[in-house]
Amino acid sequence: MSVSGREAAAAGPDTRAADLRRVHGGRAHSAYDRAVAACRHAGVVRDAAEVVPKDAVGRAANALRLSARSLDALAADARCARNTAATAALAAQLAAARAGGPDAEAALRAALTASRTAAAAAGGTARGRDAALNAEAEEAERRAVTTAREAGWLD
């Protein structure tokens, strides 16, 4: 059975959208895993989440809770990846403050870079569709995972 040109053209954007969801979803899940690990390292438990957080621990626990909810409820997009990377950066700040040392500082810097590049990929007119920005965000996420592992936050 052949597919008409019109049908093939219609399938193209759907395939591209699915590919983008897969890329952004993978990055969002990776950032969430980093956030969970950094929170665990910093002694932040999910029960510390507050509707109106009063301190950094409450903010991190609440951000973790919200990230988990968005990953469960939504098809991850560039905004979800951006928000989850920001959660991981907040968790990294707590973990680095607790651990100290050059590995923790490197992991914090990498987490902040991953958050910034995820924000750039999600923002502007491209809204997650710019291949160069997505590749930069992917590389920053890989570096954040590596440095979190080197800091002992991630198995």
Place of tokens 């990846």: 81
Shortest CA distance to 30 belongs to which of 59, 67, 65, 56? 67
Number of structural domains (the chain) is 1
The pLDDT tens digits for 7-65 are 434 556 678 878 888 888 889 999 999 999 999 999 988 777 776 778 888 888 888 88
Query: Is residue 105 in a domain?
Result: yes
Query: Is residue 97 in a domain?
Result: yes
Query: Is residue 155 in a domain?
Result: no
Residue-level pLDDT at 15:
84
Average pLDDT, the chain: 85
Phi, psi of 9 (to 5 degrees): -65, -40
Query: Is residue 11 in a domain?
Result: yes
Query: Is residue 55 in a domain?
Result: yes
Query: Is residue 129 in a domain?
Result: yes
- Domain range for 95: 5-150
Residue-level pLDDT at 75:
58
Identify which has the larger pLDDT, 123 or 126. Answer: 123
Q: CA-to-CA distance for 84 and 29, rounded, in angstroms?
A: 8
Alpha helices in 43-77 (DSSP H): 56-73
Structure tokens at 23: 């890329």
Residue 124 pLDDT class (50, 70, 90 cuts): confident
- List, in order, residues 6 or more apart from 17 with CB less than 8 Å away: none
Q: For residues 68-74, give the mean pLDDT.
A: 72
Query: Is residue 72 in a domain?
Result: yes
Structure tokens at 134: 């997505």
Q: Around Cβ 47, how many Cβ atoms within 10 Å? A: 8
Q: CA-to-CA distance for 17 and 26, rounded, in angstroms?
A: 14
Q: CA-to-CA distance for 134 and 138, rounded, in angstroms?
A: 6
